[in-house]
Amino acid sequence: MGEPRVRFWFDWTRARCQDNSVTDPEREKRWAELFDQLDLNKDGRIDLNELRTGLAAWGVRGDVEEIVRVSDTNHDGQLDFEEFTQYLLEHEKELRLMFRNLDRNNDGHIDVGEIQLSLRNLGVDVSVEQASRILQSMDKDGTMTIDWKEWRDHFLFNPLHNLEEIAHHWKHAMMLDIGEHLTVPDEFSERERRSGLVWRQLMAGAMAGAVSRTGTAPLDRLKVFLQVHGSSGVSLWIGLRGMVQEGGIRSLWRGNGINVLKIAPESAIKFMAYEQIKWVLRGCREGGTLRVQERFLAGSLAGATAQTIIYPMEVLKTRLTLRKTGQYAGMVDCAKQILQKEGVRAFYRGYMPNTLGIIPYAGIDLAVYETLKNAWLQRYCKGSADPGILVLLGCGTVSSTCGQLASYPLALIRTRMQAQASTGGGPQLSMVGQFKHIVSHEGVPGLYRGIAPNFLKVIPAVSISYVVYEHMKKVLGVGS
């Protein structure tokens, strides 16, 4: 009975000592200097733009809308000095409590082991390397520990109110869909799964993918058109003009409906498969995280599982993309005609090159992304685990491009096999037969027909997907 009371008294006494370690005049002076720096027009008030500009100049990424919302007691959309200091006072109290909870051995510093243990207690498994990166993003003096000042300064303008929010902040994940391969979601804790966060995040990703694919559908249709008919010397402009002349402007979006429709089931299947495969790979390492090579394997297998189940939709998408005006009444009519004329096996034409293409794409995409991100951190952001969103988008674009370069010949062979019956007149070739036919008739460059519009759509697709994804996360209540 005595030990909890002793522990409570020690914590309370220690907290009082720490809170009084900075005298009120010193603290008020520091707050006054912060207010003066943020009050850009010197009118005695800080508005949203001033707060956003000031924090950006300091390299701080805080939620300025949330700060103003919780601090603006008179609801005038601005913060006077009293409101500003009240926010800092309350937030520093919350930060002090979180710091004490993380500081397990009560030495006034947080180390890697304490970060790892605290996150594990919250249901978030991180490796030593990941915990080290989290620590380095706050460790300003290079001691590989975080003292109270470093902790306070790092989170002072980030309105996180408890350790669960801090953990989610550290574990921020981004899922972007550029129309070819949906990324595998990051690992989620049991608490996040129970709260429905996973499905809200998947929904946000699906919505982002739908808008992104719709925005770049003309380039996607041109890519498929060139993959199948490229041997006749069709250029980008001639291909676009020919499609418009044949079916009007709306024809540029043929096949987009089913391309959007398959996002949600593919995302859900891939996520569920990934979770099961991850559990098998972990084995007896309960609570352990997957190594890079294990995540690659799990992602590849999850992708193959999802593709196996939704592959008939891929065939329908190709047929609908290539259809001429009046050829099919819609998706259902297209499926009926394929079933009646070619049989069930037609829905899995090109399955083998499609599945084989997942492995080089996923492997190279993951390897290049991690290499570029780590190289940037080591060269330009030493001591930080966050390179910034523009760098992450750049790394993602380059890694995706490299992955597509490696897997593109298999994607082209897949498309040709899917389209064989609809083009008419040509031989029904196998994967190897298609490869030999393309190389013998078109040369090695023939394996890359249509890659130009494929590359052209990467940057707009990633940009659209990111903007919509971030907006949908706010709408659905998914924190970053």
Kindly report, residue by residue over 290-308, the tens digit of the pLDDT.
566 777 777 778 878 888 9
Residue 192 is predicted with a pLDDT of 57
Counting Cα atoms < 13 Å in the Cβ hemisphere of 150 gives 19
Confidence class for position 120, pLDDT limits 50, 70, 90: confident
Look at residues 180, 178, 170, 172 and name the one whose alpha carbon lies nearest to residue 201: 172
Percent of the chain scoring above 70 in pLDDT: 75
Of 168 and 38, the one with more pLDDT: 38
Average confidence score pLDDT of the chain: 77
pLDDT tens profile 390-437? 777 787 778 878 888 888 999 999 999 988 866 655 667 889 998 998
Confidence class for position 332, pLDDT limits 50, 70, 90: very high
* Domains of the chain with bracketed CATH: 2-170 (1.10.238.10), 190-476 (1.50.40.10)
Q: Is 31 left (phi over 0), alpha (psi -120 to 50) or beta?
A: alpha
Q: Where is 194: in which H helix or E strand?
A: helix 190-195
Residue with tokens 């040369």: 443
Residue 101 is predicted with a pLDDT of 83
Distance of alpha carbon 417 from alpha carbon 435, whole angstroms: 11
Distance of alpha carbon 130 from alpha carbon 115, whole angstroms: 10
CB atoms near residue 233 (< 10 Å): 7
Burial (CB count <10 Å: 0-12, 13-18, 19+), residue 16 = exposed
Residue 337 is predicted with a pLDDT of 92
Confidence class for position 88, pLDDT limits 50, 70, 90: confident
Task: Give yes or no for residue 86 having a pLDDT over 60.
Answer: yes
Mean pLDDT of 381-393: 62
Q: Are 260 and 213 in contact (CB under 8 A)?
A: yes
Side chain identity at residue 236, one-letter code: L
Least confident of 27-36, 122-131, 175-184, 428-437: 175-184
Task: Give yes or no for residue 31 having a pLDDT over 50.
Answer: yes
Residue with tokens 């409906």: 257
Residue 182 is predicted with a pLDDT of 45
Distance of alpha carbon 456 from alpha carbon 223, whole angstroms: 10
Distance of alpha carbon 367 from alpha carbon 183, whole angstroms: 14
What's the predicted TM-score (pTM) here?
0.60
Q: Are 331 and 320 in contact (CB under 8 A)?
A: yes
Distance of alpha carbon 74 from alpha carbon 66, whole angstroms: 15
Confidence class for position 310, pLDDT limits 50, 70, 90: very high
Chain centroid offset of residue 203 CA: 13
Strand 109-110 versus strand 146-147 pairing type: antiparallel
